[in-house]
Structure 1
Amino acid sequence: MEITIGNDFELIRKAKSIRYQVFTLEQQIPTELDFDGLDEESIHALVTKQGASIATARLNIKEDGSSILARVAVTEAYRGVGVASKVVQALMNHAQNIGIQSIEIHAHGYLKSYYERFGFEFIKEVEIVGEHQLIEMRHQIMRT
């Protein structure tokens, strides 16, 4: 398994393909809600295994040194084996390496305890997307 971090055209194309499969086809989230115009300015993590794209997430960095982790998606065949954790941790490490101060997420409500294991703290319930209640969580990055 290999994780690539970047924002070139081909990486974004592969990330969008995974997200279309997971969000649009499986979770029935309207495509226009996923493809929000922030992909080109975000940093993406893409997980591949034997050349196949299997997971992705993105980090959108704001001018104030904060960031938003979003669009965590894993293809069905690779769920439940720790791939999502690897992609989240990779972007968290990248954020720390480039000096980001905090990471915010809007995650499905049922993932609250999952993200707490990474050090995220619950802030509040936010919007409902499709049939999914989202929650806002934040992780303050400690400087060493």
Structure 2
Amino acid sequence: MEVTLGNSPELIAQAHIIRQQVFVVEQSIPQQLDLDGLDKEAVHVVVTDAGSLVATARLVQRDKWCAVMARIAVLKQYRGAGVAKLLINALLSHAAKVGLTVIEIHAHAYLRDYYQHFGFHYVKDVETVGEHPLIEMRYSVK
């Protein structure tokens, strides 16, 4: 598996392909909710396997110290293989390198325990997107 970070137009286009499949096709989330206009300012991570797209996520810096991790998507055939861990660790490492102190995430509620293993802490229930209840969680960058 190859992990690439950046915000080039090519990387963003690859992220969109993965997100379209996971969010719009599989989870029935309206595409306009996914395409929120923040992709150009975000740092994206894309995972590939022998050149094939596998997974993506992004980090949008809110201010000097805080960023939001979002759009975490793993293609169905790669789920359960530790790919999401690659995405999350890559973005947490990047956050530490650029001096961020807090990472927020709005995660599917059923993933609360999963994100707690990385050190995220539950803050509150936030909204329902499509039929998916989301919770806010925070991570303190060391």
- TM beyond 0.5: yes
- Residues 52-71 of structure 1 mapped to structure 2, 5 A cutoff: 52-71=52-71
- Per the alignment, residue 50 of structure 1 pairs with 50
Output the CA distance in 1 between the equivalents of 2:51 and 2:18: 14
For residue 65 of structure 1, report the CA deviation from its aligned partner: 1.4
- Residues 1-144 of structure 1 mapped to structure 2, 5 A cutoff: 1-142=1-142
Normalising by structure 1, we get a TM-score of 0.97
> What stretches of structure 1 move > 6 A for 4+ residues in a row?
none
**Counterpart code for 1:130:** G
Secondary structure of the corresponding residue to residue 115 of structure 2: helix
For residue 63 of structure 1, report the CA deviation from its aligned partner: 2.0
For residue 26 of structure 1, report the CA deviation from its aligned partner: 0.2
Secondary structure of the corresponding residue to residue 106 of structure 2: strand
Q: Deviations over 1:62-105 (max 9, x none)?
A: 22310000000001110011001111111101110111111000
**Which segments of 5 or more consecutive residues in structure 1 lack a partner in the other structure?**
none
Q: Among the aligned pairs, what percent are the same residue?
A: 52
Normalising by structure 2, we get a TM-score of 0.99
